[in-house]
Chains A and B, each alone.
Chain A
């Protein structure tokens, strides 16, 4: 027996096997908290290049996912921002109109522009109020900035508005400063012409032109525009006056119909 054990001990392979077995058992028997400490120490030192590279790859994967999500979020927010900007502009317009409505001594019917006439010789817009709201033909249409035009055709739920920039539209107007009267009409381009202003008038550039109320359609005192050109014409009894309209006709969205003269 002793000889057998001695032979085993002399056998170097047996010693290696026994050594490895014992070492493995020791490894297994180490308490888990100590194993964890050893593991942490080894991972943080010996395996650091590998774990750092692993972390780097994870960061790239995470960044890629986040990039996709953020791009998606950015697109959503861009749409939202555009929507907010639109709502803010509408809010400002409505506030301005509300303020105008409060200070106006006439009955105003708010309306939305639902169509724009495409005839270049008859400039008009279609609005969403009609006879059902008391609107009639020749009712003035205004915004907070000034005169837009007048109703020329009324149905039950809508009506057509002839714009001030229509060739056939006329407004009796007065200069707020000098009280000079004249007739406003459109003669092409972006400006209006104020006719029948005598050369003796002191009307000058920068003066504000408002409706005079003499025509019977537009109430007095509603702004038409500002004088941008005022010159005497050679051999003529009248001045040449050009007025920049107070209303921007190309961006009308909400207007008021004044139930005037009813």
Chain B
């Protein structure tokens, strides 16, 4: 029964990510960049769950979101799975408990993830203007971090909201 509830929460998290990526993100772009909710939620799971769970969630989340854009299918799943695994493993060694530290982690991981994702999945862009890739990565990183901070706080203090209603 407990397992089912936990699985339901993961399924809800993936549905939320899809909702955000399909409906919300295209409507609130900044200079063509959107916040990556799949990364944000995967990182949260990595920060609070075991490595294997984090990796599986990252993979599933990446696969479900990646399928919307056929050219990226597989890359998001691969990168999110291994970033989640890596972060979740590191979390055990370096205690990442405080919220400011989590925000900093989100900022760093988001930057590396976005840069790697663009480099692997859109490698043809590398032959073009690298400055553009870097600026796009920076905007995406900052945007994702800002949205991530709000999301992290909402998840962290969700019990307060639940009690309010």
**Interface, chain A (partner B; CB < 8 A):** 13, 16-17, 20-21, 23-30, 32, 35-36, 38-39, 42-43, 47, 50-51, 53-54, 57
Contact = CB atoms under 8 A, between A and B. Distances in A.
B23 A54 contact: yes
B55 A38 contact: no
Given A27-B63, A39-B73, A43-B67, 15 more contacts: A13-B52, A17-B55, A20-B77, A21-B78, A21-B82, A27-B73, A27-B77, A32-B71, A35-B70, A36-B70, A38-B67, A38-B73, A39-B70, A43-B68, A57-B23
Contact of A30 (B22, B23, B73): B73
Contacts of B77: 20, 23-24, 27
Contacts of A20: 55-56, 59, 77-78, 81
A53 B78 CA distance: 29
Contacts of A23: 59, 77
A35 B70 CA distance: 5
18 contacts: A13-B52, A16-B52, A17-B85, A20-B55, A20-B78, A23-B77, A24-B59, A24-B74, A27-B66, A28-B73, A28-B78, A29-B74, A35-B70, A39-B67, A39-B69, A47-B22, A54-B23, A57-B27
Interface in B23-57: 23, 26-27, 51-52, 55-56
Interface string B81-93: 1100100000000
Question: Which 8 pairs, one residue from A and one from B, show the smallest C-beta to C-beta distance?
Answer: A27-B74, A28-B74, A24-B78, A35-B70, A39-B70, A36-B70, A50-B22, A20-B59
Given A16-B55, A17-B85, A50 B73 contact: no
B55 A54 contact: no
B62 to A, nearest CB: 8
A235 B75 CA distance: 117
Nearest to A36: B70
B18 interface: yes
A25 B74 contact: yes
B74 A16 contact: no
Among A17, A28, A51, the one with the most B-chain Cβ atoms within 10 Å of its Cβ is A28
B68 to A, nearest CB: 7
A50 B16 CA distance: 11
Contacts of A57: 23, 27
B78 A35 contact: no
A26 B59 CA distance: 13
A72 B85 CA distance: 57
B64 to A, nearest CB: 9
A14 B85 CA distance: 12
Contacts of A24: 59, 74-75, 77-78, 81
B68 A47 contact: yes
Nearest to A61: B27
Among A24, A30, A32, the one with the most B-chain Cβ atoms within 10 Å of its Cβ is A24
A186 to B, nearest CB: 74
A27 to B, nearest CB: 3
B146 to A, nearest CB: 23
Nearest to A35: B70
Contacts of A36: 70
Contacts of A39: 67-70, 73
A21 B75 CA distance: 11
Among A20, A32, A38, A51, the one with the most B-chain Cβ atoms within 10 Å of its Cβ is A20
Contact of B78 (A25, A38, A47): A25
A57 B75 CA distance: 29
Contacts of A30: 73-74
Contacts of A43: 67-68
B132 interface: no
